[in-house]
Every structure is written in structure tokens, then in C-alpha cells.
Amino acid sequence: MTAFDLTPPTEGQRATLVEGLSEDESRVLLHHGTEAPFCGVFLDNKLDGVYCCRLCGLPLFRSGAKFDSGTGWPSFFQPYDEAHIRRIRDDSYGMVRTEIVCARCGSHLGHVFPDGPPPTHERHCLNSVSLSFVEEGEALPDPLRRGGAEAQPA
């Protein structure tokens, strides 16, 4: 069981969080868009830390699970906690894929594919614009002001 509060933001909290999004962030996070390959700010990030949901701050992936998939998007073989990711069948564009969204706020993150490295053999293909990054030892974001695990260093 996760140490993080997965209760969705209230309507007021969500409105405040959405208000701070750029046009690209809104298109991807709220409308299931995709950023262009090889342009995301986190594609080549080699720092140790935690990748969090850009909207609600929930930790999604650790840097130790990141790998170079050659696809043009940041890729991870394992989530921070499986409970932090929700998987949804995606039948768009004439194909069947598995979309991944933040389990707390429902923001679109990307897709997961069964062609990653061991031990999971999964490739979680993320949009950089869906993420924020917290360097190791820094406090995790807590935009919902919930305290608890969110207030603790990663």
C-alpha cells in the first residue's frame, strides 16, 4: 500500500493547479496529447531523483528505473509505486495501446508497452511535459498541501 494520499484533488484544488499550466502542458495532461519526440526536457536528464506528476506532484518514477529506449521520450521500466499509475485501454488511432495516467489526478502521462528491459519488460513512455523532477535529497512537491509522505525527502 502506498504511503501517499491518492484522494483526487477537490474541484477548487484542481482549478488552481490547472490555472498554472502552459498551453502545451494543458494539451498533454488534460486532453491526452503527445509532445514531439526528442524535444522533451527530461529525455536526457541523468540526475538522481524522482519524476513526479506535473499537475498534482505524486511521485511516479525513480531515476534508477529510467533507460534510453531510443524512442525520443523519457522511458522507465518500473513506476515509483504501481498504485500511483492507472492503466487504461486506448483504442485511438486504429491501434490498441495502454495509456497511463496519474492515479491521483487522472492527468495523461503517456503509454506503457511490453518491450522494455528486465525485470518488468515494460517501457513506460512518458511526455516530459507531464512530469516535474525532484533531485535526490530534496523535498517532494506538495501542491495539494497534504503533508505526510509528500513532505518527506525522496
Compute the distance between CA of residue 29 and CA of residue 54 in angstroms, rounded to an integer.
8
Burial classification of residue 57, based on how many CB atoms lie within 10 Å of its CB (0-12 exposed, 13-18 middle, 19 or more buried):
buried
**DSSP code for 10:** P
Instruction: Tell me the sheet residues that pair with 135.
Output: 49
Phi and psi of 90, rounded to 5°?
-120, 110
| CA nearest to 35, candidates 7, 65, 71 | 71
Catalytic-labelled residue, pool 53, 56, 105, 125: 125
Largest CA distance in the chain: 43
The answer to whether residue 102 is catalytic is: no
* Residue positions annotated with a catalytic role: 125
